[in-house]
Chain A
Amino acid sequence: MAQNENTQNTYLTFRLGTEIFAASIDKAVSIIEVPEIIKVPRSPSYMKGIINVRGTVMPVIDARMKFGMKPIEIKKRTVIVTFRVDIEGENVDVGALVDEPGAVIQIKKEQIMNRPDIGSKYKSELIVGAFTHNEQFIMLVDIDKVFTLDELTEINDSKEEHSLEEHIEAESHK
């Protein structure tokens, strides 16, 4: 059992444009349908706004823009994947808009290829590896890096500028 645990990791897959990405299941919290997104003034373009998920207010980012793709259009299949990321030792709930949810899959560690093999189509620092599953090429994403500190700082900057966001942030911290 211990060996199995070591050799296999569980991932959550999702689609961005035409590409399939995978993120570690440990970081994922839930998948939700897109609720009403409250826009936040003076926030970066990839930040779509804030949402309220069962009493928890969290920021929502456009994952496609994070990967240097075209801004997302909210469609029927569009969902928000919520992650619990570690920012400066703090666990913060963040939502990412993806085109379509995938599945929960288990991949052996040997299957995962190293980053330099993938090329530099997307912001390569976000991609940690890649693998094929059911003849589908899937890229492995480091979710913590996606919500990097400086970007969160930007979020924080915007929070500093707006008392409302401060208030929300304060609430989330509580």
Chain B
Amino acid sequence: MDKILAILIFATVFPLSATIYRLISGRTIVYQIVIFPLSMLGIGVSVMYASYVYSGMLSFIISTILAVILIIIGLILARRLAIRYINSQVKSMWTSDLSKQSGTEEFIDFFIELDSRTAKLKRKEEDTAKLRKDISSMTTEIEQKISGAVERFTQQGHVIHNILRANSSIIRLLKENAENAEDIAGSAKRSAVKIDVNNKNVQKSVLTLRSIISKIKFIDDLSFQTNILALNASIEAAKAGQNGKEFAVVASSIQKLSEKSKKSAAEIDKISQSGIQLSERTGRISAQIVPDIKTTAKQITKIAETTKKQHQEAEILSYTIAHLETEISHFTETTQDINRMIQELTDLVRSYETQGGLKTSFKDDNESEFYSDSDFEANSNLSNVAFSDDEFTDNEFTDDSTSPKNE
């Protein structure tokens, strides 16, 4: 029973462990080269032992020979398989043929290394593809955003152009305003002067009317005296009786005349008085108007000055806006350049995707014996920039850095 169990263990442990190893590590090359022959050896040995236990010496010798043949066949098969695999792998990577490699241990070490590296490369390639995809999506996003920005800048440019145009019309209006205000101020000053002259004329007319009144008083006095004279003449005529009757008529008509002149003098006096009142009122009003007009003129002059200043400020503003406009157009151009560059970048990334990044990258690395440290550093830098915390961590690279030592 024990013997049967041993045989079964011998027959099953090696292939089983090989299969488990293969499943766990995924390293096909190791299985093919090392585990497969070993499992074959295990089977051979178990066959040998079984034949020794149950069939005696002759069958043992035969089975031993058979097992040796099996082992030899297995080894030859494994080697051939391995060489074929390596050739296929290496041919895809390097132009040089590694089939001339000698020394099985080194060879196996190398293949273990190669296998792990190939696995890593595959992972990296996947990562790079993801990265590329990400970059591509990012660049398209950036492109969209920049084109949006360009559009906005163009709109801003339009807006600023409109502002500039409005400002120029404001400048024109301000200039007109200033000119008009100056005109008004000038006319106000002129009218103030004219009203001054008017005032003086009114004063003169008042004086004239006063002199008329004094002259009228003289006429009034004269009529009074004439009246007295006429009365005296009438008295004398009355005393003369019948003889003085005609003279009395003359005297009474003189008296009537004097009465009339008195009345007219009184009327003229009244009219002149009202004329004086009117003139004085006019004079007072125009005297009030003159300072008003003068203050108005001053205020309008101030307005004109302020408008001039505004005009200057607006011109400065216009200049500034024009400057801003040129700046924005420069900015727009720059943004368009950036956009173009990003498009180029996107094209480049896409071309990488279609051509296959691995080949080109390995072609570039052709000069180096294997993976140069500097390359990995560069890659790590790139990855660090792209994904700060991802599978591409430092421990992976430490493994890589140790591996060339094994070589």
Contact = CB atoms under 8 A, between A and B. Distances in A.
B225 interface: yes
B231 A103 contact: yes
Contacts of A103: 231, 234, 252, 255
A81 to B, nearest CB: 9
7 contacts: A28-B235, A29-B235, A30-B232, A79-B228, A101-B227, A103-B255, A104-B252
B397 interface: no
B248 A104 contact: yes
A32 B227 CA distance: 11
Interface string B284-304: 000000000000000000000
Interface of A: 1, 10, 12, 25-26, 28-33, 76-77, 79, 101, 103-104
A31 B232 contact: yes
Interface residues on B, range: 10 to 19
B398 interface: no
B239 A25 contact: yes
B242 interface: yes
Interface of B: 221, 224-225, 227-228, 231-232, 234-235, 237-239, 242, 248, 251-252, 255
A28 B233 CA distance: 12
A82 B232 CA distance: 11
A104 B231 contact: yes
A103 B230 CA distance: 9
Contacts of B224: 76-77
A166 B148 CA distance: 135
Contacts of B255: 103
Query: What are the nearest 7 A-B pairs in CB distance?
Result: A104-B234, A10-B238, A25-B238, A31-B231, A31-B228, A30-B232, A28-B235
A104 B238 contact: yes
B242 A1 contact: yes
A33 B231 CA distance: 12
A101 B255 CA distance: 11
Nearest to B229: A31
A31 B235 contact: yes
A101 B225 contact: no
Contacts of B227: 101
Nearest to B255: A103
B174 to A, nearest CB: 70
A31 B234 CA distance: 11
